[in-house]
Amino acid sequence: MVRVVIAPDKFKGTAGARAVARAVADRLWELGHDSVEVPMADGGEGFLDALGGANRTTTVTGPLGEPVEAGWRLARRVAVIEMAAASGLHLVGGAEGNDPVDASTAGTGELIAVAVQSGARRVLVGVGGSATTDGGLGALKALHPPQRLRGVELVVACDVRTRFVEAATVFAPQKGATPAQVELLRRRLERLAEVYRAESGVDVEAIEGSGAAGGLAGGLATVGAELVSGFEVVAEEVGLDEALEAADLVVTGEGFLDEESFAGKVVGGVASMAAEAGVPCLAVVGEVVHPLPPLPPGLTVVSLTDRFGAEQSMARPGRCMAEVVADHLAATAR
């Protein structure tokens, strides 16, 4: 019997991390192997699900001003908020339905305020999948006055390392911004950084990751938030280190494997932790986008598209991943 730790990210647009992990675990159980499911996230979409899922719902202001029902979690005075639930691009129908200049993070600020009012003393905010490039101004207005955060540990789980002003150039085009709007947003973030520096004493432009969610991370830093690696937050909260101690194999995965996968994302993070623990790691991904950086020792990569074709791998990523894992175990047992 082999003990397998299953720690995938979501396969964006096709399956969540929890569903993929369950599919692999079911197949391993059929084969008589032991497994531990540890669905992961890096601070973007899937963050809330990885940390237990929503147990509360609040109506907040959506990115373009419409009311939205946003799920969030509160347990033992720790709140988990996924900003995409309140200010996400999917809420406006993607880039085509977005107004990238006016999109606001107000709803995310409202969720944080409700969490604090409900007794949270530690608030984890996963940022990613946003419709916004407002530098967090909408959220800060919703949180005013900032004294309400006194005694609250606010942690922003970032899935990128982009700095504040760079957010316009790097991410705004993905949110529907034209070249002229990108330039407008860039200048607006520059001015906002000056205002933040003057009012709070925090130089958001100097903070790695401050451009996450269109600068929301930087905005929250001005009211005392700590910006950290989203992967590291999730890994600590779910006890990935402890799970690896007794593992014979670690399985991870995501939709696309590319250079960014090894810059604070789930697959790279899991592979690195597995290497440190001396445990082989199998990364099963939808598609590999070359070139890749040097891989961590002990990492094997399998592309579902290469193995099953694009249509089947997108339709049933969990089942396909389960078969790859089963074949890998059979091959290594010979």
The CATH number corresponding to 47-231 among 3.40.50.720, 3.40.250.10, 3.90.1510.10, 3.50.50.60 equals 3.90.1510.10
At residue 333, the pLDDT reads 80
Average pLDDT over the chain, rounded to whole? 96
Domain boundaries, the chain: 3-38+250-333, 47-231
Please report which confidence band the pLDDT of residue 12 belongs to, taking 50, 70 and 90 as the band edges: confident
Q: Is-contact 216 108, C-beta < 8 A?
A: yes
Q: Do domains 3-38+250-333 and 47-231 have the same CATH topology?
A: no
pTM attached to this predicted model: 0.92
Asked if the model's pLDDT at residue 130 lies above 80, the reply is yes
At residue 1, the pLDDT reads 86
Asked if the model's pLDDT at residue 237 lies above 90, the reply is yes
> Which fold would CATH assign to domain 3-38+250-333?
Rossmann fold (3.40.50)
Instruction: Compute how many other C-beta atoms are within 10 angstroms of the C-beta atom of residue 80.
Output: 29
Share of the chain above pLDDT 70, in %: 100
Average pLDDT value for residue range 196-212: 97
